[in-house]
Amino acid sequence: MVVLAAVGVGIVLWGAVRFGWYAPRAAELNERLAEATSRVQSNQEALDNNARVQRQLRDIVDRTLGSNVESVDHRLRTRLNRIAEQLELASPSVSTGRPTARQNPARLVFPRTAPELRNEIDFVELDGSISAEGTLEQVIALVDRIEAEPWIKRIHSLRIDPRDNGQRFAVTARLTTLFLPGRSPSQQPTEPYDAERMERFVSLVQVNPFHLPPPPATASEPPPQRPQQVARQVERWMVTGIAHGPDGIEAWLRNARSGESRRVGIGERVDDAVLVAANRDEAEFERHDQRLVVAIGGILSVER
C-alpha cells in the first residue's frame, strides 16, 4: 500500500511538472502562429492592393502621349496644330517648354531607407501653348476641343484679346501634360470630338458681349428748352453677361456710349435702376416702381 501511494504521488507530481513546462511553450507557439497568420493576411492584402494600384496606374499611362520627352513633345505639338487646322484659325503658333521632373513622395516617407524608391521620378510635366486668331465661336471651340481631348492635361492660362469691336479675337492658351518615364501607353488616346458640346455656347456666341452697338443718333440742333424742362442725361447700358461672383450673382454691363464696363450685385444700383434679381439669361431691375427685365444682349436705359 505504501508503495502504491508513493507511485501515485510520483505520477501526480510528474504530470504537474510536465504541465508547467508545456503550458508556457504552448502559449508561445500560439502567439507565434497568430503573428504568422497576421503577416500572411497582411501580405495577401498588399498583393490584392498592388493589383488594383497597377490597374489604376495602367489607366493613367494609357491617357499619356508617350514615355519620353521626344515623343510627348512631338505628339503634343501635332495634336494642338491639328485642332487649329480643323477650326481654320488664322496665324496658329504652337510651342512647348522645358520638361520638369517630379519626385515621388517616398523622399519624405523613407528619408533614410529605400534609396531606389526615394530617387525614382514619379512623373514628368511638359508645358505647351497655342496662339491663334479667329472669331468668338472659333476661340470658344478651340478651348473646348482642348478640354475634351482624352489625354491628361491642365489648362492653367487663357488670354483673349478682342479686336475690331469683337469681330476678331487673339487667343493664347497655356497648358501642361504629363507622362511616366519608361511607361508607354498601350495605344494613343483617341476620342472623336462631340460637336453637340458647342450647343451650350450658342447664346453666348449670338450675343457676343465683346461687341458694342453703335451709339444712338443725336439731333444736330436740339430744340431749346427751359432750364426746368431739361431732361436728365439718358445712359444706355447693355447687359453682357450674368455670373456668380464672390459675393453672389452679378450682372455685367457695358455703356453703349462710353464703353465703360460695370458689375453690379443684387441690391446695387446702375444710376436710377437697382438690380433686384437675375438668372442665367436675364437680369431684373427696379426703376421708379417699375420692373424691367433685360435679357443678355438687351439694353437698359437709365437716367443719370
Shared domain for 133 and 258, answered yes or no, is no
Shared domain for 170 and 255, answered yes or no, is no
Place of cell 490597374: 55
Shared domain for 154 and 114, answered yes or no, is yes
* Within a domain: 191: yes
CA–CA dist 266, 228 (Å, integer): 34
* Within a domain: 6: no
Angle at 153 between CA 109 and CA 83, to 5 degrees: 165
CA–CA dist 209, 128 (Å, integer): 29
Shared domain for 182 and 280, answered yes or no, is no
Q: How many domains does the chain have?
A: 2
Please say whether the beta carbons of 192 and 142 come within 8 A. no
CB-neighbour burial class of residue 292 (10 A; exposed 0-12, middle 13-18, buried 19+):
middle
Enter the pTM of the model.
0.58
Shared domain for 108 and 143, answered yes or no, is yes
Q: Report the CATH number that the domain containing residue 293 is assigned in CATH.
A: 2.30.30.830
* Within a domain: 240: yes
Shared domain for 103 and 162, answered yes or no, is yes
> What range defines the domain where residue 174 resides?
69-207
What letter would DSSP give residue 106? H
* Within a domain: 98: yes
Please report, in tens digits, the pLDDT of each residue of the chain (304 residues total).
544 455 454 554 455 545 555 566 667 767 777 777 777 776 667 667 788 888 888 999 999 999 999 999 999 999 999 999 999 999 999 999 999 998 877 777 666 666 666 778 889 999 999 999 999 999 999 999 999 999 999 999 999 999 998 899 999 999 999 999 999 999 888 888 998 999 998 888 888 888 887 777 665 666 666 554 444 666 888 888 888 777 788 888 888 888 888 889 898 988 889 999 988 788 999 988 888 888 888 888 887 6
Output the CA torsion sign for 59, 61, 62, 65: positive
